Chains A and B, each alone.
Chain A
């Protein structure tokens, strides 16, 4: 009987090696360990053994059973592994096929640039002020030191509604309004839509967008203006950006400057974007004119301030390399989805 058991174990373990699927394994288990299985059958014959032999054979039979169960478990593990590998092999995807897009919408490039600018100035303690687009001549011009029939008005071809009401030509009237309602210290930016009577072409639009900044406090210097503009320029165009101020004339600031940034296309060596100059003009700025402070109810002998203004559309065009301004207002989906 001992021999019988040993040969069963040997044969069974050999058979296990050849099993290749899980149903076969189940059949095997039944064949050996099932109620009518081989091992069971042999153990049923134990009654015929002598009392001395019985524990020995019993122990041996248990060992064989354990060996078979272990063999079955190992084989099951092997088969599952093989089966899983096969499944994996079969369900392998072509991962280069396109994803199932959940198409997010995109913000307009002007919004993207404006958000960046807002972030920079919010971080420096500015608030965001807003005002009407259909504006009084008074706030758009007169409060900004440009009385009626002033030649400087020519540079801002204006849409008029009536003699005293117009479409604002810059966001500066928001500053004028803000100064009337707020006492210094003032730190604001005023983003918004502005209007000039320019025909539509690749570089002009009768409607475009500006951000103006205004700071009024005791002892504000032109150095503060330059430092602030440096932070702005680096924030928008990158850390290596340099700025250059050229004297200019605006009625609402004195001294006034036009401000160039080192070209984002070439870094200053000269290219098509900067027309070989190495610099690109992006904004106008200056120290708030005493007449403007006075008109806003602020004493220019006590307070000083600076202001700056820039066109968002042109910065967006520069930043994204957009070569035709009309694209910004055409709203072709294929354009909008590039940003």
Chain B
């Protein structure tokens, strides 16, 4: 809401500087977004009248003028093509300051000039503010003005304060409402307007028009006045300038008056051309099936039966609270008016304006719920201005269809409860002063207060507390720290602690944490080779997305991981190692909400990044999370992954059964190509809940060995397809208790190893906890191992 300062001053004396004012208002809850000084940088520019104009002796394009500036007549040379004798123009005097610089006396082609005629650009004024300014040339005043008048006065170049008004305070969407807040903030009286209407036209309004409300729940009140002898012309400068300063475009006197009243009092108004109302009738009703209306913006609107319209006896003439119809628009030919000042149900207006995609100054106010008591005051102010401007004659009386409940709400002021909620010791007197300033009627004996009709936001002691607190100043409340309350133990849940373990382990393994969006494009599934009937294609769909690319909630994070790897790759970054801990969203049959699963995604490419590097990271994670008994199994069924270089991670559930926790591997070469990732890009995806279920934070100390270890090696040749993990399992099983550790140290293929075979070499370590092992014991174990490998895998000792 933009409020010109001088308009505010019509209702309240602002006796402090602008900076102090702005700060005080912000701290009492009317946040100031900014102050625009329309006359900024302009000094010593006055209204001048061109008395004479002659051709310049030395230049065809220039003219030499005599200009009356009140105190004297100056010689001015100008090149403006649009001025003539008698025109009133803005004249920058010698010594004047303009946004573009200072004005000096000068000689133009040999002729002295003592000032400069100004265009709006030279005054740094916008065409929105002065719509009648010529495209090219000097501004010419269209209103009679005294030469010598300061331009700031002549053009009402005011300071405009822009307030942010919260949705609970539609009463502050008006200059008067803000003046009320100003008065309460500064502790000065509010000057209530004294509205007087002469009503000079003959007859009674109630004889001329009948008003009927069919849906009182959607329109609790409809008040109207009739104006005759209407003369449409531009409104006066002062009104145009106030409207423009507040951000509304001046149109003509009638439209301007209705807008002026809306800005001043917060009540949207509408003027109908009375001659267009069939049977002189207004019916407030919902639209009939199939009705349409061409609105003032020239658009044909399809109405539905939920929309409230203003109709005459035949057809809609306006969409209630949203926009008027072209069929009853005020034009230059309009001679008689119906002025509407009504109250509509906010939610209904909101739905209609959303459906039609029209947001007007009026609908923006109505949808927040306005004061039904304001309709009459606004009509009277409108009538007063019409008479003041000579825009028409007002017919006696108001036709007021009022279906509101008359009772005024009251509330008891309970200072103890307010102080208890705020943690303050504010006196009852001080509180009552605050409410009186806000136009509550306070009974000091009973502490019962009448809530003003424009404050429908006040319902409970909490609301009263806010009123007290904001004028007491929030920052005067003494800080405390829940003193005297039971102390509580803050802690993370097991799951939250494990998530910390995951992040810390990933970082320790050189993985960098990524954050990606949770919504994505349905096109990603093709990119990662998911078949058309893949269950991951069943997604939660956003009904109003920002675009196709952000239209579904992701069911897998692999595409996002590949996308960010590819971004890094395209930027010539040689190595990237990334992880993300985030969610995927799976629709669940028969449930309103999807299942949100936390997943851990890993991705890497570049130097040293291959399957085993990735697997090493995963193994570290298993150790850190205390997951025992995990196993990697070859995985050939994941369409996004290389079928020969991918594994499933199997973990043991608490009940002992094996469960797939996720996959890790090289991205399928085709997917890598489609996602523009480098060859050999690796990725992994795990379900965090499964990992956590298998995890443990408990650790048991094992005594350090007291007897020496006996190291042995064994190398066997087996078929290519034999898995090392199976060989190792067999070794462990065959060796018995004394085998402390086994690790793979070489896999060899090539000369001396037959085609289709590989040589695998293991380092074994034997040890007993209670004695030094004898060679024979170890030899026996080694023989058993070899036998077992020969028997199970056809292995040959190398």
Residues of A within 8 A of B (CB): 102-108, 110-111, 118, 121-128, 132-136, 148-152, 154-155, 159-162, 164-165, 167, 185, 187, 193, 197, 199-200, 206-207, 215, 217-224, 226-228, 230-231, 244-249, 251, 254-258, 287, 289-290, 300, 304, 328-334, 336-337
A197 to chain B, nearest CB (A): 6
* Mask: chain B, 562-579; 1 = CB below 8 Å from A; 0 = not: 001001100101011111
Contact A105 B593 (CB under 8 A): no
B55 — which chain A residues lie within 8 A by C-beta?
none
Give which listed residue, A197, A199, A247, A329, contacts B516 with CB less than 8 A. Answer: A329
* CA of A150 to CA of B541, assembled, Å: 25
Residue B220 lies at the interface, judged by CB distance under 8 Å to chain A: no
* CA of A222 to CA of B423, assembled, Å: 6
B289 to chain A, nearest CB (A): 23
* CA of A228 to CA of B545, assembled, Å: 38
B567 to chain A, nearest CB (A): 7
Residue B97 lies at the interface, judged by CB distance under 8 Å to chain A: no
Known contacts A152-B167, A287-B462: A125-B511 contact under CB 8 Å: no
A245 to chain B, nearest CB (A): 4
Contact B421 A134 (CB under 8 A): no
* CA of A247 to CA of B508, assembled, Å: 45
* CA of A111 to CA of B513, assembled, Å: 9
B571 — which chain A residues lie within 8 A by C-beta?
332
Give which listed residue, A127, A132, A185, A206, contacts B550 with CB less than 8 A. Answer: A206
Q: Could you list 18 examples of A-B contacts with CB < 8 Å?
A: A106-B507, A107-B503, A122-B490, A151-B346, A159-B545, A185-B486, A217-B486, A222-B424, A223-B480, A226-B474, A226-B478, A245-B475, A246-B27, A255-B462, A257-B474, A330-B564, A333-B576, A336-B578
Contact A304 B543 (CB under 8 A): no
Residue B514 lies at the interface, judged by CB distance under 8 Å to chain A: yes
Give which listed residue, B460, B493, B513, contacts A105 with CB less than 8 A. Answer: B513
Residue B722 lies at the interface, judged by CB distance under 8 Å to chain A: no
Contact A222 B421 (CB under 8 A): yes
Residue B658 lies at the interface, judged by CB distance under 8 Å to chain A: no
Residue B553 lies at the interface, judged by CB distance under 8 Å to chain A: yes
User: Lowest 10 CB-CB distances: which A-B pairs, in order?
Assistant: A223-B423, A221-B423, A247-B29, A255-B466, A249-B166, A125-B488, A227-B479, A245-B474, A247-B470, A122-B490
Count of A-B contacts with CB under 8 A? 237
Which of the listed residues A197, A215, A255, A257 has the most CB atoms from chain B within 10 Å of its own CB? A255
B380 to chain A, nearest CB (A): 28
* Mask: chain B, 536-556; 1 = CB below 8 Å from A; 0 = not: 000011111110001001000
Residue B26 lies at the interface, judged by CB distance under 8 Å to chain A: yes
* CA of A318 to CA of B160, assembled, Å: 31
A160 — which chain B residues lie within 8 A by C-beta?
542-544
Known contacts A104-B508, A149-B347: A247-B28 contact under CB 8 Å: yes
With CB as the reference atom, state the residue of chain A lying closest to B483.
Answer: A224
B166 — which chain A residues lie within 8 A by C-beta?
248-249
Contact B567 A330 (CB under 8 A): yes
A107 — which chain B residues lie within 8 A by C-beta?
503, 507, 513
B350 — which chain A residues lie within 8 A by C-beta?
149, 151
Residue B368 lies at the interface, judged by CB distance under 8 Å to chain A: yes
A185 — which chain B residues lie within 8 A by C-beta?
485-486, 488
Known contacts A160-B542, A330-B567, A333-B573: A248-B29 contact under CB 8 Å: yes
Known contacts A256-B466, A332-B567: A219-B485 contact under CB 8 Å: yes
Known contacts A159-B544, A227-B480: A105-B492 contact under CB 8 Å: no
Known contacts A128-B492, A134-B596, A151-B367: A226-B518 contact under CB 8 Å: no
Residue B482 lies at the interface, judged by CB distance under 8 Å to chain A: yes
Give which listed residue, A152, A219, A329, contacts B420 with CB less than 8 A. Answer: A219
For residues 565 through 611 of chain B, which have their beta carbon under 8 Å from a beta carbon of chain A?
567-568, 571, 573, 575-579, 583, 585, 592-594, 596
Contact A223 B479 (CB under 8 A): yes
* CA of A289 to CA of B541, assembled, Å: 33
A126 to chain B, nearest CB (A): 5
B544 — which chain A residues lie within 8 A by C-beta?
159-160, 197
With CB as the reference atom, state the residue of chain A lying closest to B513.
Answer: A108
Contact A127 B578 (CB under 8 A): no
Contact B510 A105 (CB under 8 A): yes
Contact A111 B474 (CB under 8 A): no
Give which listed residue, B488, B543, B564, contacts A161 with CB less than 8 A. Answer: B543
A228 to chain B, nearest CB (A): 7
A201 to chain B, nearest CB (A): 12
Contact B463 A105 (CB under 8 A): no
For residues 641 through 697 of chain B, which have their beta carbon under 8 Å from a beta carbon of chain A?
none
Known contacts A105-B509, A247-B466: A134-B26 contact under CB 8 Å: no
Contact B517 A161 (CB under 8 A): no
B735 — which chain A residues lie within 8 A by C-beta?
none
Which of the listed residues B474, B546, B571 has the most CB atoms from chain A within 10 Å of its own CB? B474
With CB as the reference atom, state the residue of chain A lying closest to B27.
Answer: A246
Residue B228 lies at the interface, judged by CB distance under 8 Å to chain A: no
Give which listed residue, B27, B469, B515, B576, contacts A329 with CB less than 8 A. Answer: B515
Residue B512 lies at the interface, judged by CB distance under 8 Å to chain A: yes
For residues 489 through 511 of chain B, which have their beta carbon under 8 Å from a beta carbon of chain A?
489-493, 496, 503, 506-511
* CA of A330 to CA of B289, assembled, Å: 51
B86 to chain A, nearest CB (A): 47
B481 — which chain A residues lie within 8 A by C-beta?
124, 224, 227-228, 231
With CB as the reference atom, state the residue of chain B lying closest to A200.
Answer: B546
Known contacts A221-B480, A254-B466, A255-B465: A336-B486 contact under CB 8 Å: no
Known contacts A125-B487, A187-B488, A332-B567: A106-B513 contact under CB 8 Å: yes
Residue B769 lies at the interface, judged by CB distance under 8 Å to chain A: no
A135 — which chain B residues lie within 8 A by C-beta?
593
Give which listed residue, A154, A155, A304, A328, contacts B421 with CB less than 8 A. Answer: A304
Contact B26 A246 (CB under 8 A): yes
Residue B105 lies at the interface, judged by CB distance under 8 Å to chain A: no
